Structure 1
Amino acid sequence: MLLPETSKHLWLALSPHGYGHAAMTAPVIHALRRRLPDLRLTIQTALPRAFLEERYGPDFTHIPDIPDFGLKMLSATVVDLEASAEGYRRLHADFDALVESEAQRLRRAWPDLVLANVPYVTLAAAARAGIGAVALSSLEWADIYRHYLGDRPEAAGIYAQMRGSYNAAQAFLRVTPAMDMPSIDTIIDIGPVANKGRNRRDELAARLPGRLGLAAFGGIDHDFSMANWPRMEGWTWATTLDFPKDRGDIVAWRDLGLPFSDLAASVDVIVTKPGYGTFTEAGLSGIPVLYVLRPDWPESPAMDIWLAAHTRALAVTLEALTCDAEAQLRRLFSLPEQPVAQALGNEEAAEYIASILCAETGICERS
């Protein structure tokens, strides 16, 4: 175990594209704090502090301003191509000045290390400021930009700046599962990073007898509606989505009083979209997953294969999910069970980050 003699300061920059980047990184930070109990943490992201406190606890400084936006979305699974292209044109209109502005922000705080999941401007700024930096994620925006917007006249210049920013980092810790990253030269592959929830179904049984499902579609509006979800005898559904108040078979997930990871580990099925956090948490607990196909998303092939190897998983169209949910659930439950995964990447990432934090001064000793 690594023990500090003085506190270290980690600057964590998180893409505010939904909640997945923040959720993915939280178990790594918890593992890091077990090694460095006095760690000072700054989190730079546009996500609300209340959500961050749920995942990280209250002991951090929040910087809500960040240039990164990921992609502009029409829904949780549909990219707004025109708005995204315009967003990147604006972001890169004077990229050097933007990087210098962020570098000045970092110089004022002077952290010992920058960890990015996975804003590239912050990585470029850290390099400009002379501060070490590491990326951690299952995706990166350079190849996603090229995938969706690479045919635009301005794309070559924007892509080159994105790629250069990522490769300015000391390393890119690519978690399992992850998209292909041909633009990244500094990849270190690690295992899954996720928080394995505690199965608390027995606590819920008195309030919610019968079978319990979770319908969760992340932090971006989705075109799936609980108003069209069929009533199923013997089923109650917890959801992150809005729902008609006359539906006695649907409850808001927060009303159940459990952390999301614990709820996800306590249900009979999760209905969702492809997303790293939901998929990995299901794979750690062996919870069956019924999910909406997303063939255009670069992460999908790797995530689909990984999920099917660690729990019963079925990809369906949005139409099939909405119109024929009971039949799809029967198909899902007929699949064979699979061996659950382990979140080996939590400790692998924390060990790597701690080794960098302690390397320059040598004040952290093993015991």
Structure 2
Amino acid sequence: MKIYYYVSGHGFGHISRTSVILTEILKHPGLTELHLVSSRVGFIPETHPKLIKRNRILDVGVFQKDSLSMDIEKTKQELIDFEKKKNLFLKEESAYCKAKGIDLIVSDASSLPLIIALEAGIPSVFVGNFTWDFIYRKFANQDSYFANISDILATEYGFATEALVLPFHCPMPAFLERTETGLVGRKPKLNKQEARDSFQFSDEYKYILLSFGAYGLEGFDFHWDKLPDDIKLVAYGVPGLNTDKTIVPNDCHYPDLVTACDYVLTKPGYGILAECYYANTPILYTDRGDFAEYPFLVENLQNYFLSSYISHEEISNCEFEIHFSGIDKAKEKVKVLETPKNGEIQITNRIFEYT
């Protein structure tokens, strides 16, 4: 089987969960070739004789002004430009699929690869926890363009042969076939104590991992003098931080760092939620602007995690301890729900049923 697997480069969750699924696919004896198509192919460091990486952008996503606010106007202009190029992309990619003998297209989470599959005469599978039409429709109250583009994309998603829907999902368009899967996320290689020992963490301190993606903590004005002496902030790949006040580990398996820390401070997204779930690490979460996925992620945080909402002002003032106390009390009183795990196995098995 030859698979064309498109992954959105917008956000951490798409490519991080895909790395887990691809590992499973590459182990399957039925695989002939796996064509990974994304603007972030570099996130997948593995080399494999059956893995072909191709740098290509087939969706727009949402552009950010900083780590906590979105650039709606730039997103609109990029969407307008992308729509002008869509027919060219469709022609080029369907020709590529025909020339390479692709048997199946998988998309996380763009709608265009589903149309490419239709043009190439092959089946397609959507994988994800949201679709872009749902995200853009939130902006329609600011600009009617987003209602129009959402309608177009919702129609395109409808051409998927099947949708494999992940936990923590938002409302979805009307897929012809839909299957809910287990959670997919990168897992730690070490247990809690092994991870803490590997990073030389001391029981004298509480360690908070700052997880804010590519934009780091732009938009925050930290009052470092207010940071309690018994709290250590940990950052890995986060730009714009005062490193005199943070611990910055060397290269590491990030889920092990999630496991080692006592808490993760983040603007919620699928990728970090999945990794905290597998690491069993509580979450301090804050606002992330007028993003349609946010209330659904917060609902899942409240159901499936030990978590606490923390305001931007509290973060800037390093007011963490009240949230530690709230989470400690919840440990004794609240039984969080469980969600099915190891969705990558379920997804891989379903993909190869198309042979």
TM-score (normalised: structure 1)? 0.84
Aligned to 1:202: 194
The structure 2 residue matched to 1:284, chosen from 274, 278, 292, is 278
> Is the CA contact 2:114–2:156 (under 8 Å) kept in the aligned structure 1?
yes
- Residue 58 of structure 1, aligned match among 47, 51, 54: 47
Q: 1:330 aligns to what SS in structure 2? A: helix
Q: Does 1:13 align with 2:6?
A: yes
Note if 1:214 corresponds to 2:195: no
Q: What stretches of structure 2 of length at least 5 have no aligned partner? A: none
Equivalent runs, 1:56-205 vs 2, <5 Å: 57-59=46-48, 60-93=51-84, 95-149=86-140, 152-155=143-146, 157-182=148-173, 184-197=175-188, 198-202=190-194, 204-205=196-197
Q: How many residues align?
A: 342
* Deviation sequence 1:54-91 (CA, Å, 0-9, x none): xxx22222211213121111123322111111111111
Contact 1:114 1:131 in 2 (8 A): yes
Q: Map Cα deviations across residues 112-151 of structure 1 (whole Å, 9 max, x no partner).
A: 2111101212221121111221110011101212222466
Unaligned stretches of 5+ residues in structure 1: 1-7, 359-367
Provide the residue aligned with 2:347 in structure 1.
Answer: 349
Cα contact 2:67–2:219 (8 A) shared by 1: no
Q: Structure 2 CA distance, aligned partners of 1:161 and 1:203? A: 47
Counterpart contact for 1:284–1:342, Cα < 8 Å: no
Matched, 1:42 2:35: yes
228-237 vs 79-88, which deviates more? 228-237
CA deviation after TM superposition for structure 1 residue 15, in Å: 0.7
CA deviations over 1:211-267 (Å, ceiling 9, x no partner): 3321111234543558545533233332132322333xx2224x1x43111221222
Residue of 315, 324, 335 corresponding to 1:329: 324
Of 294, 309, 313, 1:319 maps to 313
CA contact (8 A) 2:58 2:112 kept: yes
Which piece of structure 1 moves more, 128-137 or 66-75? 66-75
Instruction: Tell whether the 8 Å contact from 2:2 to 2:31 is kept in structure 1 after alignment.
Output: no
Structure 2 counterpart SS, 1:172: strand
300 and 151 in structure 1: CA distance in 2 versus 1, 3 angstrom threshold: closer
TM-score after normalising by structure 2: 0.86
More displaced 10-residue stretch of structure 1: 107-116 or 300-309: 300-309
RMSD, matched Cα: 2.5
1:142/1:183 contact within 8 Å kept: no
Q: Taking structure 1 as reference, are residues 125 and 37 closer, same or farther at Cα in structure 2, changes over 3 Å only?
A: closer
* Percentage of pairs with the same residue: 19
Provide the C-alpha distance between the structure 2 equivalents of 1:277 and 1:61, rounded to a whole number of angstroms. Answer: 24
Could you tell me how far apart the structure 2 residues matched to 1:152 and 1:301 are? Answer: 21
The structural deviation recorded for 1:345 is 1.9
1:94–1:268: structure 2 CA closer, same or farther, 3 Å change rule?
Answer: closer
* AA partner of residue 117 (structure 1): D
Q: Give 1:334 shift.
A: 2.8
What amino acid does structure 1 have at the position aligned with 2:232? T
Is residue 308 of structure 1 aligned with residue 293 of structure 2? no
